[in-house]
Amino acid sequence: MVKPAPVWKPHSAVLLGVDTGAQSGWGIWTPKTLHIGTIFNRVGAEAERIQVVEAAIQIATAADLDLVVVAEKWTAGMGGKDRRMNAATLMGLGGAWRDWQRVLQHCRVPKKRIVRVNARTWQGKMLSGMGARTSEQLKRAAKLVVCSRFPKLAAAEHTPDAFDGGCICLWGSQSGEVGSALANSRRWPTRNR
């Protein structure tokens, strides 16, 4: 399957970026703002996920923009480059994604409005040229990218996973995959969802 080409001008939409894992970093991007945070997998995490998804829906509705969810995905071995991707890790990431899927279904987010992006794809686009190789270096690079575009976020306390959620949003803001999701589905959310 041929991937859609990226766009030069950011999409006119609201994006909810999700970095799945034991700590789920998230970002809510609009063409003018970025909010980021982290949800720790613990009692009450589902309610927090619902709050994040509902906030994204409210922002999209208030701005009269479409919403697209952009969620990270992982594959076994990542082409042999990532030794952390063993069976137990993949099962944990799959469980974290199922938790998000349940919430997205609960909030009635259409499947056509969910884009999955391989971790290496968004990292390659957003963090290329920064010399980041290790997990810690990738996390620091993500923070630099997000804070260079949204300097106010540098002053607040955020986990490294929150900056990954922000970078996933930034990748999505110009990705062809998000453009396809916007073009190939009906307007969502609508004011009367």
Q: What are residue 13's phi and psi, to 5 degrees?
A: -160, 175
Average pLDDT over residues 28-52: 93
| 3-state SS track over 157-193 | CCCHHHHHHHHHHHHHCCCHHHHHHHHCCCCCCCCCC
pLDDT in tens, 152-178: 999 899 999 999 999 999 999 999 999
Question: pLDDT value at position 76?
Answer: 61
pLDDT-based confidence at 189, cuts 50/70/90?
A: confident
What structural domains and CATH numbers belong to the chain? Answer: 13-183 (3.30.420.10)
pLDDT-based confidence at 27, cuts 50/70/90?
A: very high
For 11, the token pair is 């999409």
Size of the chain in residues: 193
For 161, the token pair is 């996973």
Amino acid residing at 136:
E
pLDDT in tens, 52-98: 999 999 999 999 999 999 999 986 654 445 555 554 454 445 567 99
